[in-house]
Structure 1
Amino acid sequence: MRRVPRQVPPFDTRSPFFRYEALAAGLTDVDLRGERFRRIFQGIYVNFSTPVDVRTRARAALRVMPSGSHISHCTAVELWGGVSPDSSQTHISVVSGSVRSVRQGIKSHLALPGAAIVALGGMPVASPTQAFLELATMGASLVDLVIAGDSLVKSANVGPEDFVSAAKQWRGRGARLARRAARLVRPGVDSPMETRLRLLVVFAGLPEPRINWIIRNDEGGWRLRFDLAYPELKLIIEYDGRQHADSDRQWLRDIGRREELDEMGWRIIVVTSQGIYSEPDATLKRIQKALVERGAVGVPRRLSSEWTRHFSQ
């Protein structure tokens, strides 16, 4: 019986490939160092037309690591569309007993027991809640962990209760941090700075504001929406990233919106990045004073010092 030759798939440089694969396909080291290709990690390349983004790096890392590995930690959060702590490395977890390949730009971890892994874009990736737990095990700050959770609720079709449940079941490293952070995750958060501002308020012992409060017109339609609000006090806390500072149209729109709020009896406190990173104490005093002036009940006269453990003074 004549043997049928095995069909070898064509060499596709648009996906990450090893140097030895390129040489076997007829390319040379001179080709790989030229303008047609880019190196992702040591010994791994891709066609210049392929963007070297988080997905491409993740695919390349999986080719390096042993079978059974999965994309994890910060990289998994990013693949789900969330916001992770800053990391220049691609994070991947391997099963116990595997031989890890060491390459600059790749951070390898041992997979957590019972890790929840799902397929995402054809890759094995930690589930959103699993990635959340992985961040806790690597010592992410409480604020960064809540930011990750808030962003994943928005981008990955999970709810705060999913994080609470996963953290409750976890008994390993970072369990206490994960449980605390999970209880602070909220739906409807639009940005990391909104999370930071809310946590600053909460850690100071002030009442937690409502998120993305919508002011409606007489017909019940959408009129105005704000980041954080105490609707019963008609008090709004708004983060202003100043991305529209140079836009006359946006500036005029903001003026009109604030005049409209004045007519309805609402007060707005605008907080910029400086008020969170450089002057958090002053920001808290502004909010505390406004709460008292608007008639809030139970506002502490002395702020909790917990906020100082998470925000610079």
Structure 2
Amino acid sequence: MPSDRAYSHVTSAVLQSLPLPSFLEEEAATGPLHVIARTSDGRVVRKGCVGHRGLELRSTIDVDGVRAVGPADTWVDLGELRRGRLTLDDLVVVGDAVVARIDHESGVEVPSGSHTSSGTRALLQALHARVRPRGKVLLSQALELIRPRVRSPMESRARLMFVHAGVRELFAEDVYRRPRRVGTMEAVALMLGLDPSTLMIT
């Protein structure tokens, strides 16, 4: 890979082990590589590649000796894929994972229940750095639902399921930091704002 190129979009997400819908993971394994160059250099035109421009607007990282677009910019790039490729929930799941990674690398403890952190600010900055990006409305909606301290894609989707149903948002600490590990029914009771001790749980 030339120094003025980097892997981007789906390819970058896979290199960084960011959670993607299964169909995109399959495409990444068998399909073309997404490569981005500086705007002045034009798109990469090569068999087996999907070319993009705008490398100068993105941060890059080294992934096992390979240059890739950084995680926050990759999240924005995923939102710019053609309509219908990723849903709102998909972008929240990826965003939660990106935020968790950036927060971990920052070494700064995020307060319990906080909606903002180094990671969420990085996503906001990456989005605002783009000029009229495709998918900006959906990305902005996803950003409002992205949270720090999320441990897994499953946790993200479980939280979103209740949020979409109009149930109060449950933070991971409500379940994981109780005196003992709670069961599924107790977790549901907490999400509904009920006292688990009042339920007939066996």
TM-score computed with the length of structure 1 as normaliser: 0.46
Decide whether aligned partners of structure 1 residues 164 and 67 sit closer, same or farther in structure 2, where only a CA change above 3 A counts: closer
Query: 2:13 maps to what in 1?
Result: 77
Residue 98 of structure 1 deviates from its aligned partner by 4.5
- Greater relative contact order structure (CA < 8 Å, 6+ sep): 2
Report whether the alignment pairs 1:93 with 2:36. Answer: yes
- Which of the residues 168, 172, 187 maps onto 2:128? 168
Report whether the alignment pairs 1:189 with 2:135. Answer: no
Residue 193 of structure 1 deviates from its aligned partner by 2.6
- Which of the residues 179, 194, 208 maps onto 2:140? 179
Query: 2:194 maps to what in 1?
Result: 233
* SS state at 1:83 partner: coil
Decide whether aligned partners of structure 1 residues 184 and 266 sit closer, same or farther in structure 2, where only a CA change above 3 A counts: farther
RMSD over equivalenced CA pairs, Å:
3.0
Residue 215 of structure 1 deviates from its aligned partner by 4.3
CA distance in 2, matches of 1:215, 1:99: 49
Task: Return the letter of the residue paired with 2:159.
Answer: R
Query: 1:33 maps to what in 2?
Result: none
* SS state at 2:176 partner: strand
Task: Return the letter of the residue paired with 1:131.
Answer: T
Paired residues of 1:80 and 1:155 also in contact (CA < 8 A): no
Query: 2:47 maps to what in 1?
Result: 102
Alpha-carbon displacement from aligned partner over 1:260-285 (angstroms, at most 9, x marks no partner): xxxxx17599xxxxxxxxxxxxxxxx
CA distance in 2, matches of 1:233, 1:144: 29
* SS state at 1:224 partner: coil
CA distance in 1, matches of 2:194, 2:154: 23
Give the share of equivalent positions with the same residue, in percent.
Answer: 28
Paired residues of 2:37 and 2:52 also in contact (CA < 8 A): yes
CA distance in 1, matches of 2:18, 2:199: 32
Decide whether aligned partners of structure 1 residues 215 and 225 sit closer, same or farther in structure 2, where only a CA change above 3 A counts: farther
* Superposition pairs of residues 120-199 of structure 1, within 5 angstroms: 120-139=63-82, 140-156=86-102, 157=105, 159-170=119-130, 171-199=132-160
CA distance in 1, matches of 2:199, 2:10: 39
* Structure 2 segments unaligned to the other structure (5+ residues): 106-117
Query: 1:224 maps to what in 2?
Result: 181
Decide whether aligned partners of structure 1 residues 168 and 205 sit closer, same or farther in structure 2, where only a CA change above 3 A counts: farther
TM-score computed with the length of structure 2 as normaliser: 0.68
Decide whether aligned partners of structure 1 residues 67 and 169 sit closer, same or farther in structure 2, where only a CA change above 3 A counts: closer
* Count of residue pairs the alignment pairs up: 169
- Which of the residues 210, 215, 227 maps onto 2:171? 210
